[in-house]
Chains A and B, each alone.
Chain A
Amino acid sequence: MAAAPKSSEKKIRVLIAKPGLDGHDRGAKVVARALRDGGCEVIYTGIRQTPEMIAEAALQEDVDVVGLSILSGAHLELFPRVVDELKKRGIGTDDVLLFCGGIIPEEDSKALNTLGFKAVFRPGTNTQDIVKFVYEHAAS
């Protein structure tokens, strides 16, 4: 019965968060909106989140995906702490799909991949590529 709306069908839940002190959240909002338009339920936490706050929100919201946006250059400081805080709460990089975006130099990609981030999106990325990535990789 294809025509009936399936209200209870499993939705992909995504947390979009901005760790650290930079207040530029345009990118995070554009990505959140694109994922919403792609049919995801997106929890947006707002700016200036500590790694603890992000991990706690991921736990309480039981998200499938965590996307971090950063423009301050502190990603190699802050992202490992987010991963640690997630692990402290029993959430490993196999349990949740991690991706990040923002002003992140190419040469840092490898370190971020090793940390568990499956993708790094930079300025100019087509938002549809991010939606596609989430649908292809999110554990169901």
Chain B
Amino acid sequence: MEVRVPVTEIVDRFLAGDRRALARIISRVENETPEGRDYLRDIFPHSGKAHIIGVTGGAGAGKSTLTGALASEYRNRGKTVGIVAVDPSSPFTQGAILGDRIRMQSLALDPGVFVRSMASRGALGGLAPSIADVVAVMDSFGFDYVIIETVGAGQDEVEIAGTALTTLLVNNPGTGDDIQAMKAGIIEIADVLIVNKADHPGADILVSQLQALLALAPAGSRRPPILKTIAMKPEGLEKVADAIDDHRRWLDESGELEKHRMSNARHQVVAAARAILLQRIQRNTSAEELDELVRQVAGRTLDPHTAAEALADSVRG
């Protein structure tokens, strides 16, 4: 591939390891500004080296604490870590309280760690609209690991598996019986299952329920390990870090990594195309035109799909 000369000074500073440049570029990319797109175009070829870890699980499961503890474990191993922590935006005011840093205080001044909080900004699935781009920026900066912490997820927020290479599902004792776990599609995306707060009653029962559930999985599929942690202490994180590295090795050796990269890239291209089309429709349609279509649909003289076709036709011009 032809080597492009970076067009802006901020990209130079980014590539030289300037953390403020990293922070500013993330903002531009997160806000999907034209500059953000330019920066990403220059930076993207440098991505693809970090191992991307997703941490998901219910609200209060200990995702932030576990993410912080896992990052500390990697720091002990001499590795650098970028963290992207997503919290929900209010559906009413679009505001957000981003509080994941509170659980990561011990990393606050570590030059080998960079923590960025993101609001979900209306995205479904536990992530944020521009998460894949922000992760690519962190990856390009040169961190060995990038950890994505999702919004508290319940049963089918499985988007994370389309962005991360290794997905951790954080469970807690006492949060439902084995049928709850059997229902949850989220279990199917887990590469490593974690029983956090393992000092609480019921931890061993949960471990055996999860084992029984995994035994029902189709033959030949990879069985995710089940690991007990007490992230607050922290306890059990060495095994988690080892399990992630094992999974990465398995991805490399089985050829799954290439498949994963292809499907993640496909997902990103399609999502970006959808966003561009939506923007074009928004540009080409006035509020009055939309209102008129909406009135017709509400009055049952037009169906929603035909109305949408009319909007989509506006970009063909």
Chain A residues at the B interface, C-beta cutoff of 8 Å = 1-5, 7-11, 13, 32-33, 35-46, 52-53, 56-57, 59-62, 89-91
Docked pose: A29 CA to B152 CA in angstroms = 21
Interface set, chain B 1-22, CB cutoff 8 A to A: 19-20
- In this complex, what residue of A is CB-closest to B19? A59
Is the pair B287, A46 in contact by a Cβ cutoff of 8 Å?
no
Docked pose: A1 CA to B292 CA in angstroms = 11
Given contacts A7-B123, A8-B121, A37-B90, contact A1 B96 (CB under 8 A): no
Docked pose: A33 CA to B115 CA in angstroms = 22
Question: CB-CB < 8 A to A37: which residues of B?
Answer: 90, 93, 95
Question: CB-CB < 8 A to B117: which residues of A?
Answer: 41, 43, 61
Docked pose: A56 CA to B112 CA in angstroms = 13
Question: CB-CB < 8 A to A89: which residues of B?
Answer: 20
Is the pair A1, B287 in contact by a Cβ cutoff of 8 Å?
yes
Q: How many residues of B contact A (CB 8 A)?
A: 41
Query: Can you pick out 20 interface pairs between chain A and chain B where the beta carbons lie within 8 Å of each other?
Result: A2-B290, A8-B31, A8-B32, A32-B97, A39-B95, A40-B95, A41-B96, A41-B117, A41-B119, A44-B99, A46-B99, A46-B101, A46-B102, A53-B105, A57-B108, A57-B115, A60-B23, A61-B23, A62-B24, A89-B20
Q: Write out, one digit per residue, whether chain B residues 108-137 have a CB within 8 A of any chain A CB (1) or not (0).
A: 110000111101011100000110000000
Is B257 among interface residues, defined by CB-CB distance under 8 A?
A: no
Interface set, chain B 215-267, CB cutoff 8 A to A: none
Of A4, A5, A40, A45, which contacts B102 at CB under 8 A? Answer: A45
Is the pair A44, B109 in contact by a Cβ cutoff of 8 Å?
no
Docked pose: A42 CA to B224 CA in angstroms = 36
Question: CB-CB < 8 A to A61: which residues of B?
Answer: 23, 98, 116-117
Is the pair B23, A1 in contact by a Cβ cutoff of 8 Å?
no
Is B294 among interface residues, defined by CB-CB distance under 8 A?
A: yes
Docked pose: A62 CA to B30 CA in angstroms = 11
Is the pair A38, B122 in contact by a Cβ cutoff of 8 Å?
no
Docked pose: A3 CA to B116 CA in angstroms = 30
Docked pose: A45 CA to B109 CA in angstroms = 13
- In this complex, what residue of A is CB-closest to B275? A8
Question: CB-CB < 8 A to B155: which residues of A?
Answer: none
Is B282 among interface residues, defined by CB-CB distance under 8 A?
A: yes
- In this complex, what residue of B is CB-closest to A10? B31
A8: min CB distance to chain B, Å: 4
Is B278 among interface residues, defined by CB-CB distance under 8 A?
A: yes
Indicate the member of A2, A37, A56, A60 with the most B CB atoms within 10 Å.
A60
Is B285 among interface residues, defined by CB-CB distance under 8 A?
A: yes
Given contacts A10-B31, A39-B93, A59-B20, contact A44 B108 (CB under 8 A): no
Question: CB-CB < 8 A to B287: which residues of A?
Answer: 1-3
Is the pair B95, A44 in contact by a Cβ cutoff of 8 Å?
no
A137: min CB distance to chain B, Å: 18
Is B94 among interface residues, defined by CB-CB distance under 8 A?
A: yes
Is the pair B109, A52 in contact by a Cβ cutoff of 8 Å?
yes
Is B315 among interface residues, defined by CB-CB distance under 8 A?
A: no
Is the pair A1, B90 in contact by a Cβ cutoff of 8 Å?
no
Docked pose: A3 CA to B278 CA in angstroms = 13
- In this complex, what residue of B is CB-closest to A45? B101
Q: Write out, one digit per residue, whether chain B residues 279-308 have a CB within 8 A of any chain A CB (1) or not (0).
A: 001100111001100100000000000000
Is the pair A62, B26 in contact by a Cβ cutoff of 8 Å?
yes
Is the pair B115, A60 in contact by a Cβ cutoff of 8 Å?
yes
Indicate the member of A2, A4, A41, A61 with the most B CB atoms within 10 Å.
A41
